[in-house]
Amino acid sequence: MFNAIIQISLKQRLFVLMGALLLMLYGLFTLRQLPVDVFPDLNKPTVTLMTEAEGIAPEEVEQLVTFPLETAMNGLEGVTRVRSVSGVGLSILYVEFGWGTNIYRNRQQVSERLGAVTNQLPAGVVPQMSPISSIMGEILLVAMTAEEPPIPNPSPARGEGGKTATPMEVRDLAEWVVRPRLLGIPGVSQVIPMGGEVRQYRITPDVANMERLKISISQLQTALHGFASNTSGGFLEAQSQEYLIRNIGRTTKLEDMQQLVVAHRDNVPILLQQVAKVEFAAGVKRGEASFMGKPAVILSVQKQPSVDTVKLTREVESALAEINRNLPAGVKADNLLFKQANFIESAISNVEEALRDGAIMVVIVLFLFLLNVRTTLISLTAIPLSLLAAGLVFHAFGLSVNTMTLGGLAIALGELVDDAVVDVENVLRRLRQNALLPAPLPALQVIAAASREVRSGVVYATLIVVLVFVPLFFLAGIEGRLFTPLGIAYIVSILASLGVAVTVTPVLCYYLLGKQTAAEKPDSPLVRLLKRLDTRLLHWSFRHVKLLLSAAVIVVLLAIASIPFFPRAFLPAFNEGTLTVSLLLQPGISLTESNRIGTLAENLLLQVPEVKQVGRRTGRAELDEHAEGVHSSEIDVDLAPSERGRDAVLADIRSRLAVIPAAINIGQPISHRLDHLLSGVRAQIALKVFGDDTDTLRSLATDLQTRLAAIPGVVDLQLEKQVRIPQLQVRVDYNKVQQYGVTPASINQALETLANGATVAQVLDNNRRADVVIRLQDADRTAHGLRNLLVETHAGYIPLQQIASIEDSSGPNQIVRENSRRRIVLSANAADGADMAGVVQAIRAELADFPLPEGYFTRLEGQFQAQEEATQLIAMLALVSLTLIFLVLYSRYQSSVLALIIMGNIPLALVGGVVALWLAGQTLSVASLVGFITLAGISTRNGILKISHYQHLVQHEGETFGIPMIVRGSLERLTPVLMTALVAAFALLPLILASGEPGKEILHPVALVIFGGLVSSTLLDTLLTPVLFYRWGEKPLQNLLSNQGATHETV
């Protein structure tokens, strides 16, 4: 088939060149349309249910809300894990489905189950399904701030009053100006504001006046229900016209609300202002935000899955610039605290630079070997055509341009010219030989014959390279999502280069090399030098066969024996340029105190020279799907480049924050999200303790925390803050309430309204909405105030303490469940440079002798788990790949011996990969394992090229088996073998150097292993393959030639 393609291409030369030109033009156009992201799609299908149950204690939330929802979701098709958090007035349920399931079908299933369970929930409690977002969905954090000093020379035309905007005004702008504008941008899934003050119409009852005027809470609620709303009056016809009747009741004036009639006494109206205070007030805050240590409103902008992050970020920034011009003076909405696109652009730029620099290295190597501009240009055409063909496949499969797809192309870069190099070198050599003949053959005939001569070996070598990547497509979880696109990019570009080699390369050889003369120098000075050196080494090798083989076996065994001693990790550490510092204070602390400590932490961070800006979010925003209490703060830190290493900067930050009375975890935004996806915890290691009693769980976890703290390499160790917090329990006396003719439920309802607050209406002001809330003033919301609170009964108003006991108590701040069991988590990170596998092994040793009560158990999860599973799967599938390689080689050479001789290059490559990892101080990670997989395919190419040429010399050029034939064949194949190996190796240098740059971290181990393996396999193959073939290849070669027959097409 390939021979026919070569023949057709040479006949239709103009058509082939025009087709290549069209491919380049269309490829360039398509490449510009591809979405750009930091990583491939890593979204594990998850449906999040958020249920607000204001003021209800965690115990009631768990029993009344979370448990029914969990029961309904368990058993859904495809569900792998159900996690829940029951906090104060909030239940959040995470329903995780298996990779590859359809998120829309999953949401439909969840929605169907919700319909069946909603009637089991408390009245007014309605679960909300969060919008579909991406694991990397938080693309921007925008801080809105108001300048502190008064505005000089205010402009009345712009509404500037010469004073700083209040936190309530800033929040209004964020909620009703900025958020709707950003949500209108296609691709934005959610915008969550946090901080400032939410505007409310606050109704503060005067209980004494209510008693005097005989006004009940229910009367207040009835009067306010539907306040300031419009209604319809239908239509009327008059004078041949139809008029819509619109009943206008809407108002936004406090005076109108104050004049609202609540009841009548002796035909005298009782107004709302007589029994309650009416004012604008801030809603109850469960979260706060700041920027650079000063109060702010922070908006989290989240994107939909598969949306181009960079393009969307530009659109959002453009909208923010437009909004910022129209905001009141002093208010700014352009403080970008976190911008994921910065990391993406930096990572993509670095990998693109690696591609560019790698291509330059390829040009240099090719020219040094060939010393011929034309042959270099012909070989290089494979690079753009192969890369653009890969881009077309990305478009067809919906893949984005990201660090992994570009990384696959960067790793394949040097190999893209391999097929063309082998073709061009052989064509050039045959054309020179043809020019020496008395009657030279036509150039087309020589080029076709030269291309066919190497075709079989090249095709089989490419097929093997493809086969060794099969394990990548079976990887599950995050590792599969990360490395499968890399494998697709690699394989597609390699296959495209093969297509270029059998179509475009022969045609270009005809146009650029067809008039080759014998007068030209046959080899470059470098090649002549290498051939002289190789000749000496080959003759030495044949004289010292046993020594050479023994040394090779020992080196390979040592390399294999050293592998278990390498430190292990799941993925290399990223360099995102930003940090996420989590502070966990003691639950039960007030928002005011948590805010004070958070501000202190911000100021300490700003003292670090590398810190450019910081922004803090404490507690939880109203729309956030994370159940964080006010004791929890997350500080986003933007770092500037520094001469100090990352470890030194982190050590400086940890030392400065050591004075903060909090558990501190330092990570990076994207890395944190990957950890959370693996274990549900934003840390590398998660030790989960399961059981029924929260106090027992906390006691066990505390004991384990003491043990883990003594393990070397464990940092950022923190215990999930599931503790008992102070409660004020109001317990109604059933006997006493009956005496006053009321029910406990009515008393509890009144208390909920007065103490917790109840939303009784909404006021609309154009597109803005504000709740109307009845709530006691803070001065009355104390233990003393509640005891003396007057509650309505049939016998009149009486103090609450006459019918209820009010006691100090305690209860859990939150209850976390996973797969229907309560659990608590110990989270930790491995110190930079620490052996993750060693740390995990030490933790497992502690767990082995840790006594647990009946019904309690532990589970260790995190990055290491994914690494272990991926390693086992890769090892198993690698055996399958090796078997397939053997079968492919056996089908070509019809000999187990020849197949094993060629495969002998694989352990030789292993030696170089192991040495490279050891010299660079790298861990054995999934990324480095991918490098070893790649090596298995690349390293067999040299053996195939050599043994196929030995066969050709014996079968077609009259050579007899022996040392002279093997030396000749080895020297004639020295140039293409060294060129392909060196081109592939040197193209990887940009990924090996500057390994800490964004985008190169995950590709550095892959490139390092391949580079080391190529060096060792190429050097050792130069000596060992000829020796092995001389020692054991004669009989298999004879059998192969006799089986194929004289007329069989050979290499």
Check residue 855 and give left, alpha or beta (phi > 0: left; psi -120 to 50: alpha): left
In this structure, are 907 and 1025 located in the same domain?
Answer: yes
**Residue 977, in any domain of the structure:** yes
In Å, how far are 80, 81, 138, 259 from 101, measured between CA atoms?
11, 14, 23, 58
For residue 587, the SS3 value is coil
**Distance between CA atoms of residues 497 and 219, nearest Å:** 81
- Give the CATH number for residue 95: 3.30.70.1430
**Residue 945, in any domain of the structure:** yes
Span 986-1003, average pLDDT: 79
Quickly tell me which residue has 């829309």 as its tokens: 104
In Å, how far are 307, 349, 481, 623 from 47, measured between CA atoms?
19, 34, 19, 15
Quickly tell me which residue has 């020589």 as its tokens: 446
**Residue 325, in any domain of the structure:** no
Give the least confident one: 619-623, 932-936, 1026-1030, 1034-1038. Answer: 619-623
Q: What's the distance, CA 205 to chain centroid? A: 51
Mean residue pLDDT across the chain: 85
In this structure, are 478 and 405 located in the same domain?
Answer: yes
Structure tokens at 136: 């990397």
In this structure, are 517 and 540 located in the same domain?
Answer: no
pLDDT in tens, 933-967: 888 888 888 888 889 889 888 988 888 899 999 99
Give the least confident one: 507-511, 670-674, 1010-1014. Answer: 670-674
**Distance between CA atoms of residues 283 and 770, nearest Å:** 10
Does residue 627 register a pLDDT over 70? Answer: no
In this structure, are 647 and 499 located in the same domain?
Answer: no
For residue 441, the SS3 value is coil
Beta-strand relationship, 276-282 and 199-205: antiparallel
**Distance between CA atoms of residues 950 and 1034, nearest Å:** 11
The answer to whether the beta carbons of residues 594 and 630 sit under 8 Å apart is yes
pTM: 0.78
Strands (E) located in 135-198: 138-146, 188-195
In Å, how far are 352, 362, 492, 906, 1022 from 1010, measured between CA atoms?
19, 16, 19, 12, 18
In this structure, are 986 and 912 located in the same domain?
Answer: yes
Does residue 623 register a pLDDT over 70? Answer: no
Does residue 519 register a pLDDT over 60? Answer: no
Q: Give the best-scoring range by mean pLDDT among 501-515, 593-607, 968-982.
A: 593-607
Which of 749-785 are b and which e, b meaning 16 or more Cβ less than 10 Å from the residue's Cβ?
ebbebbbbbbebbebeeeeeebbbbbbbeeebbeeee
Q: 3-state DSSP helix/strand/coil percent for the chain, to nearest 5?
A: 55, 20, 25
Does residue 527 register a pLDDT over 70? Answer: yes
In this structure, are 611 and 517 located in the same domain?
Answer: no
Amino acid at 461: A
**Distance between CA atoms of residues 32 and 916, nearest Å:** 37
**Residue 436, in any domain of the structure:** yes
Give the least confident one: 27-36, 127-136, 396-405, 880-889. Answer: 127-136
The answer to whether the beta carbons of residues 1015 and 912 sit under 8 Å apart is yes
Name the domain boundary from 68, 102, 132.
132
Across the strands, what pairs with 297? Answer: 144, 195
Crossing angle of helices 340-370 and 403-416, in 10° steps, is: 0
**Residue 259, in any domain of the structure:** no
Quickly tell me which residue has 């016209």 as its tokens: 241
Provide the pLDDT for residue 152.
53
CB atoms within 10 A of CB 1041: 15
Amino acid at 482: L
**Distance between CA atoms of residues 669 and 682, nearest Å:** 10
pLDDT in tens, 801-813: 888 888 888 888 8
| Helix and strand counts by DSSP (H, E) for the chain | 38, 31
Residue in 873, 993, 1018, 870 with CA at minimum distance from that of residue 938: 1018
Provide the pLDDT for residue 433.
82
pLDDT in tens, 751-785: 878 888 888 888 888 888 888 999 888 777 888 88
Q: What is the DSSP string of 26-88?
A: HHHHHHHHS-B-SSS-----EEEEEEE-TT--HHHHIIIIIHHHHHHHTT-TTEEEEEEEEET
Max CA distance (Å), the chain: 132
The answer to whether the beta carbons of residues 181 and 299 sit under 8 Å apart is no
What is the 3 state secondary structure string of 367-388?
A: HHHHCCHHHHHHHHCHHHHHHH
Does residue 396 register a pLDDT over 50? Answer: yes
**Residue 599, in any domain of the structure:** yes
Does residue 654 register a pLDDT over 70? Answer: yes
Does residue 158 register a pLDDT over 70? Answer: no
Amino acid at 306: S
CB atoms within 10 A of CB 19: 14
Structure tokens at 149: 């000093």
**Distance between CA atoms of residues 861 and 477, nearest Å:** 14
Provide the pLDDT for residue 1049.
42
Span 645-652, average pLDDT: 85
Structure tokens at 552: 């090779």
pLDDT in tens, 121-147: 888 788 988 887 766 678 899 999 988
In this structure, are 492 and 600 located in the same domain?
Answer: no
For residue 664, the SS3 value is strand
Span 374-395, average pLDDT: 87
For residue 1045, the SS3 value is coil
Question: 570, exposed or middle or buried, with CB in 10 Å at 0-12, 13-18, 19+?
Answer: buried
Q: Which residues contact 104 (CB under 8 A, 6 or more apart)?
A: none
Provide the pLDDT for residue 136.
67
Residue in 523, 500, 373, 513 with CA at minimum distance from that of residue 443: 513
Amino acid at 529: L
Does residue 925 register a pLDDT over 80? Answer: yes
CB atoms within 10 A of CB 309: 26
Q: How confident is the model at residue 911 (pLDDT cuts 50, 70, 90)?
A: very high
Does residue 659 register a pLDDT over 80? Answer: yes
**Distance between CA atoms of residues 503 and 853, nearest Å:** 71
pLDDT in tens, 873-904: 888 888 888 888 899 899 888 889 999 999 98
In this structure, are 90 and 120 located in the same domain?
Answer: yes
**Distance between CA atoms of residues 650 and 646, nearest Å:** 6
Give the least confident one: 674-678, 807-811, 843-847, 963-967. Answer: 674-678
**Distance between CA atoms of residues 641 and 228, nearest Å:** 56
Provide the pLDDT for residue 1050.
37
pLDDT in tens, 195-249: 999 999 899 998 888 888 888 888 888 888 877 777 888 888 888 888 888 888 7
Torsion of CA 749, 753, 756, 759, to 10 degrees: 120
Instruction: Compare 598 and 939 and report the one with higher pLDDT.
Output: 598
Span 861-870, average pLDDT: 78
**Residue 852, in any domain of the structure:** yes
Name the domain boundary from 522, 553, 586.
522
In this structure, are 399 and 490 located in the same domain?
Answer: yes
Span 603-619, average pLDDT: 92
The boundaries of the domain holding residue 680 are 578-720+817-861
In this structure, are 118 and 10 located in the same domain?
Answer: no
Quickly tell me which residue has 């801080």 as its tokens: 143
Provide the pLDDT for residue 232.
82
In this structure, are 611 and 513 located in the same domain?
Answer: no
Q: How many domains does the chain have?
A: 4
User: Percent of the chain having pLDDT more than 90?
Assistant: 20
Does residue 1007 register a pLDDT over 80? Answer: yes
Provide the pLDDT for residue 521.
55
Name the domain boundary from 98, 132, 166.
132
- Give the CATH number for residue 420: 1.20.1640.10
**Residue 87, in any domain of the structure:** yes
In this structure, are 588 and 709 located in the same domain?
Answer: yes
Question: 527, exposed or middle or buried, with CB in 10 Å at 0-12, 13-18, 19+?
Answer: buried
